[in-house]
């Protein structure tokens, strides 16, 4: 019996993802029993330097091929690369998560398209951004030292929308406090993992059985 189980195990699929969604990828893998998914991440700070995503992904995929991975899935949407990431994916024959960015695929692309115009002046936060609010916003923008800069950076926003992947009161408190700090109205939307879950299931299902 053990030999049969070993023989029918799916081949491994490597997910090369944005560090901002690492926790969520692992949560989906555990929840859905996708044990043959493996994860490696590019730095989360590329969120602010999208010009670095495509070349870094190009290198990461090439290195993964050398390590013997036949099945690779890109854990990014376009994420501000202006199509450059798609060209890397095409070059290597791999697929990525559909959509323009994580704020869209967390909500689901259809829901995001419906509400897109209404959210033009909304500033999005996710679970990751709540956990890393100080490291990703306050310190890099020096808002802790110069709160007068808030008007320069966030003056065109009207609302902070917290896209919650989990029900965590501590994270919601961070989002609420951030809205107050930035002078924005507040809305919480529970999205769960949105299209990320279905994308990972589809990627996992394309791995042939050994």
The per-residue pLDDT for range 19-46, each reduced to its tens digit, is: 999 999 999 999 999 999 999 999 999 9
Q: How many residues are there in the chain?
A: 210
Residues 104 and 109: their CA atoms lie apart, in Å, by: 6
DSSP 3-state of 188: strand
The answer to whether 94 touches 85, Cβ cutoff 8 Å, is no
pLDDT at 7: 55
Share of the chain above pLDDT 70, in %: 94
**pLDDT at site 195:** 96
Checking if the pLDDT of 10 tops 90, the result is no
Q: What angle do CA 191, 193, 195 make, to 5 degrees?
A: 100
Q: What is the pTM of this model?
A: 0.90
For the CA atoms of 59, 60, 62, 64, what is the dihedral angle to 10 degrees?
Answer: 160
pLDDT attached to residue 1: 43
Residue 4 in this model has a pLDDT that exceeds 60 = no
* β-sheet bridge partners, residue 188: 162
Residue 2 has pLDDT above 50, yes or no: no
| Mean pLDDT estimate for the chain | 92
Please report the pLDDT score of residue 68 as a whole number.
96
3-state DSSP assignment of residue 43: coil
The residue ranges of every structural domain in the chain are 2-102+194-205, 109-190
Q: Which pLDDT value is given to residue 9?
A: 76
Per-residue pLDDT tens for 60-87? 999 999 999 999 999 999 999 999 999 9
- CATH code: domain 2-102+194-205 is 3.40.50
């Amino acid at each position: 019996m053990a030999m049969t189980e070993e023989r029918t195990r799916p081949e491994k699929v490597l997910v090369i993802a944005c560090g901002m969604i690492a926790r969520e990828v692992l949560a989906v893998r555990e929840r859905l029993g996708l044990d043959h998914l493996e994860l490696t991440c590019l730095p989360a700070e590329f969120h602010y330097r999208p010009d670095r995503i495509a070349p870094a992904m190009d290198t990461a995929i090439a290195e993964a091929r050398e390590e013997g991975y036949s099945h690779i899935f890109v854990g990014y949407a376009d994420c501000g690369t202006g199509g450059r990431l798609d060209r890397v994916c095409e070059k290597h024959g791999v697929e990525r998560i559909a959509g323009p960015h994580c704020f869209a695929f967390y909500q689901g692309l259809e829901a995001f398209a419906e509400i897109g115009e209404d959210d033009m002046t909304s500033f999005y936060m996710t679970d990751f951004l709540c956990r890393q609010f100080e490291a990703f916003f306050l310190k890099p923008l020096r808002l802790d030292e110069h709160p007068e800069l808030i008007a320069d950076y966030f003056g065109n926003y009207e609302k902070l929308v917290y896209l919650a992947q989990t029900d965590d009161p501590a994270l919601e408190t961070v989002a609420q406090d951030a809205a107050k700090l930035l002078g924005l109205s507040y809305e919480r939307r529970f999205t769960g993992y949105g299209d990320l879950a279905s994308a990972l299931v589809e990627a996992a299902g394309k791995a042939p059985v050994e």
